Structure 1
Amino acid sequence: MEFKAAALVSTLLCLALSHGALSQRAPIVETPAPAPAPAYVDLADLLSLAGPYGTFLDYLTKTDVIKTFQSQANDTKQGISVFAPLDSAFAAVDSGALSNLTDDQLRSLMLHHAMPRYYPLSAFSKLAAASPVSMFAYKVNVTDHAGIIGVASGWATAKLVSSVYSTSPVAVYALDTVLLPKEVFPTAPEVTPVAAPAPAPGRGGKPMDDAPGAGRGSKANVGDKGSSCRVGAGSLLVGYVVLMVCGFLMV
């Protein structure tokens, strides 16, 4: 009887100790891995490194429109499509027409060079059918003729010459002409046509064989001279042999 009581006490004591140990063990909680930070495209760096867009970037920075574009790219689901005129496009516009703009007009002009939504190249045929299309400021008409995309606004019709960057939510396209909306320019500013690059030298130039001293005549002269030398040497040899024979007979 005493043995059974002792065994019962030991069992109860073990259960109590086990319960205490389990109650002190911290619960296991699976902590989810932190979500990766979104990869934002720095528009200023992109335009600075991509090529000849320095003038456009300077105007974006001067008017703080670069902040508007960057916020649209980072903080919205719609994304952004930027149309960046080349430096040569800005150089073609009369400098007075740009320098005489007020701060608000210049800001509106820069806002007129982007759509508040990401559009890949494959979407431009639909944009052309839905024209006019809204920019951040004012509207433009998009055209798509056999893959040649145009953007018309006010006094200017620009051609999309290349895709600088296009990965959702950011697209940047290069234009060969600055968009000139009538809301900013009541009269058409003077624009100098961009000179076409000089054509590469073709095959119509004077060939080397036609150059002085390099024609067929000069080659023939060289050949004739060599022939005369060989004939003269042969005549001397024949004369020498005749003299030797005559001397032998006289002896």
Structure 2
Amino acid sequence: MAYLTITLGTLLILSTPNLLIHAKTTPIAPGPTPAPLNLTGVLEKGGQYTTFMRLLKETQVGQQVQSQLNNSYDGLTIFAPTDNAFSNLKAGTLNGLNAQEQVSLILYHVLPRYYSQVTFETASNPVRTQASGSNGVYAVNITSSTNQVNVSTGIVNTPVQTVLYSDFPLAVYSVDKVLLPYDLFGPKPPASAPEPADHSPKKPTKKSPAADAPSEEAVASPSTASPSERTTGWRTFVVGMGLLVFYCMGSHL
């Protein structure tokens, strides 16, 4: 028995280095590669966001979101309106927007950081959206309680209904109303009316008597007299001189 025990122990000692060498040289199989984040896949899985997906594609906001997910350190939060939310819009709401305004509308549903339901409680209002820029503030107000999160735009107010996806860097929440930004759908200031034309009768302007009187230079200057006036004056002078001569002669006689 003692001989057998020694032999087994010897074999164990001799085989241990080989086991260690084999363990060191055997490669460890890599784990599964995580699938890249795909907003379209999240919405397709939800099953009732076809209109929102179409607008994401037409405005190219979907490509912008996908690019930011791969390069953002803050993450993104998206409010996804249901198809019913778009159906409940007033007729012509979307068609009344130009291309840039449609882009702003879709970007208005994207927050430039990741918000879990817990971190919504720390949000500081107003919360800027991806639409905020030189063409407007485009902010939302978020209120949160223990069991409910509400989003308000100044035009509509809606609760966050369903968490479609929430894992940093992306959070997607379902909403039952399209978020209409105040900058686009709020009341517009009235245009300034042009001043009415003045059709009242004009009063004639009075001229001062001095305006019609000849100036002192005109009276004093002989050159301003007409030829007839100069002839009459000369005749008067000649007649006066004749009368003076006749009178002197008569006195001597």
1:178 aligned partner: 178
TM-score (normalizing by structure 1): 0.58
> Could you tell me how far 1:39 is from its partner in structure 2?
3.5
Q: Is the 8 A contact 2:75 2:169 kept in 1?
A: yes
Q: Is contact 2:140–2:151 with CA below 8 Å preserved after alignment?
A: yes
Q: Does the Cα contact within 8 Å between 1:65 and 1:110 map onto a contact in 2?
A: yes
Letter in 2 for 1:133: V
What is the rounded CA distance, in whole Å, between the counterparts of 1:108 and 1:80 in structure 2? Answer: 16
Equivalent-residue separation in structure 2 for 1:98 and 1:84 (angstroms)? 16
CA RMSD of superposed structures (Å): 2.4
**Per-residue deviation, residues 95-144 of structure 1 (Å, max 9, x unmatched):** 301111100000000000011111111111111xx111111012100011
Structure 1 residue ranges, 4+ long, deviating more than 4 angstroms after superposition:
33-38
Report if the CA contact (8 A) 1:72-1:116 is conserved: no
Whose Rg is larger?
Answer: 2
Aligned to 2:141: 141
The question of whether the paired residues in 1 share the 8 Å contact of 2:155 and 2:186 is answered with: no
**Separation (CA, whole Å) in 1 of partners of 2:70 and 2:181:** 27
Residue number in structure 2 paired with 1:107: 103
Q: Any residues of structure 2 matched to 1:180-195 within 5 Å, and which?
A: 180-187=180-187
What's the % identity of the aligned pairs? Answer: 38
- Matches of 1:40 and 1:146, distance apart in 2: 32
**1:64 maps to 2:60:** yes
Q: Give, as a single letter, the amino acid of the residue that structure 2 aligns with 1:124.
A: F
Gapped runs of 5+ residues in structure 1? 1-30, 189-251
Task: Indicate the SS of the match to 2:45.
Answer: helix
1:52 aligns with 2:40: no
SS in 2 for 1:179: coil
